[in-house]
Amino acid sequence: MKNTVLFLMAWLCVTVLHAQAPDTISFRDMMMHKPVPQDTAVILKDAFLQHDAVPTLGQTSQDMGDDVPDAVWDTLPPMASGYKWVSYRGKAQITDTGGTRNCNFFMVNRVDSIVYLNVSSSGIEIIRVVCTPDSFIYVNKLTYQYYRGTYGPLRILSHLPVDFQMVQALFNGDETKLPQHQKFSFEYSDYAAVDSTRSFFNAVTFKDLDRVISISATLKNIRFDVPGPTGIRIPEKFKELKL
């Protein structure tokens, strides 16, 4: 159970898929993006000609290579903000002392209201989580268990100041609202232009040096201001977890 909560705490603030065994930034200051001054236009033009590196919609920093001048990155739109909804799908790789596991996930966030997370493996839903400012609901379809309550037990198990704002910040790449701790790191990377006005990260890595856990995730199908599913149901036969 402890390792399962560790996933919910890292990618929801921790790790899914010790799948409840039977016994159970480095990101080029995109958040601080500033327009390129007018007097750098000629320098930028020369950089493009020399490196053939004009960013296009959907192209990431990884696609363009490490030798592209920093000036080129200033042409990417600023980090997305001001949206009411955001959703995306992705793949996560969880590594700890027990080995490496993979899963897929789907996240929906209605800003300042609700975070919905669906975790699956081989096309089968394993875990569903719904967070609100006042509650945390977790349903495990492998073990027929659920938790419904406050964030208090999760703070104790994860040793992190977990609340709704932290969970929301984690999924939105807002590092200013994530805990600063030498044993934890959240690294967002591979920023890409979602459209002509905004960019968003395409990869994130969480590391817990104390427990030797690493979770790396890649994103796709990023959508803004498109409402998504946020419901959760607890079947009657499921047993409540006492954390």
Range from 59-68, 98-107, 143-152 carrying the lowest mean pLDDT: 59-68
Widest CA span in the chain: 68
d(CA 153, CA 150): 7
- For position 62, what pLDDT does the model report? 52
| Domain spans, the chain | 2-24+80-240, 34-73
**What's the mean pLDDT in 5-17?**
42
Residue range 166-197, pLDDT digits in tens: 999 999 999 888 877 767 788 999 999 988 89
User: Could you tell me if 164 and 152 are in contact, meaning their C-beta atoms sit under 8 angstroms apart?
Assistant: no
206 CB-side CA count, 13 A: 26
d(CA 192, CA 194): 6
The length of the chain is 243
Q: Which tokens sit at 83?
A: 């949206």
Helix (H) or strand (E) holding 121: strand 114-121
- 2-24+80-240: which CATH architecture? Clam (2.50)
**What's the mean pLDDT in 64-93?**
77
d(CA 89, CA 24): 28
Using alpha carbons, select from 47, 46, 72, 48 the residue that is nearest to residue 61.
72
